[in-house]
Chain A
């Protein structure tokens, strides 16, 4: 049995962080343009970036590029795409804009992110649901692709998420996945997904690209969150991962790797009650999730720190 007494509290804290972040952004001049909350991807010298080319002043450019790298050469024409941890909907917005997907469904634990997405993408082929990544509230076998970008590192029970990804996908569907992971856990994660019927088709370490994006963009992006007093400013500095923050150090460390993984679901597997990850691995996952949620803490905007809107 993997459910853990602290998990609900951790998830509530994570939802609160992102609800608070939405409040902070709502008070800034950049509210309607800020659709992504991730570290982004910067092509290195000599590298040909994936996907459509983006203008030099394209908002959230590095985050858009991260999605393009995650998608790679995957054909999403006519696809129904589910994104788990969709945040403010940037990835699904971009998939609709740049690929001919048929339908997008976003799930997020932060209610205010879901409200933002619904407001920004009212089209009938876009749906946004408030829900938990470890119990995704969508039917089985409905997705041609599941997307997950820089969100699973906060899940205390990641195997439940993996099991749900396998459940949601059609046979032949794609799992397009990226995150910052403890290097020791990548192999067990891939093995777990293999046991669930998902075959690894692509793996690439992009840590240097993500670091390059943080080094170049983090200080600027912090400005987009508006003016804050010193407590908020420190939190935002950490959140956006400026050079010198704990998150930046984690990126730079040999212990972690920011990796793109793509899988194809080759078979429907009925998962056993027994877990694939060991108790020790599950404890590591839970500990890292708690650490990530701590680092991403955003103070409540009701504390008087919210900038005038």
Chain B
């Protein structure tokens, strides 16, 4: 489950940021490593909500710094069957 979510998130970030997926790891920080901003992050989260059937509160996004943290947040929602 975790790997699947990570693969999905990595794929979406690669598309949005026009990067090679191999450049994106769980430890990648949005701003410092990927040069991603909040608009990129929100795009990926909106896609996750549509494609993975999760609903994330706005507040959950505000302290996220890394791809892995986003994956964990999505997985928490998937685990409770949203």
Contact = CB atoms under 8 A, between A and B. Distances in A.
B18 interface: no
Contact of B31 (A33, A56, A221, A223): A56
A220 interface: yes
B69 to A, nearest CB: 10
B42 A61 contact: no
B58 A56 contact: no
B32 interface: yes
Given A56-B31, A57-B30, A57-B36, A33 B65 contact: no
Most buried by B among A56, A59, A60, A61: A56
A58 B61 CA distance: 8
Nearest to B33: A56
Given A29-B46, A33-B38, A220-B37, A56 B29 contact: yes
Given A32-B58, A33-B58, A57 B43 contact: no
A33 B62 CA distance: 10
Interface residues of B, number: 19
Nearest to B30: A57
Interface in B29-53: 29-32, 36-43, 46
Most buried by B among A55, A60, A61: A55
B19 interface: no
A57 B61 CA distance: 9
B23 interface: no
A33 B42 contact: yes
Interface in A38-77: 55-61
Contacts of A60: 38
Given A32-B58, A33-B58, A58 B42 contact: no
Contacts of A32: 58
Contacts of A57: 30-31, 36-38, 40-41, 61, 64-65
Given A30-B39, A220-B37, A223-B39, A58 B62 contact: yes
Contact of A59 (B29, B32, B38): B38
A224 interface: yes
Contacts of B39: 30, 220-221, 223-224
Given A29-B43, A55-B63, A57-B31, 15 more contacts: A29-B42, A29-B46, A55-B30, A55-B31, A55-B62, A56-B31, A56-B65, A57-B30, A57-B64, A57-B65, A61-B38, A220-B39, A221-B39, A223-B39, A224-B39
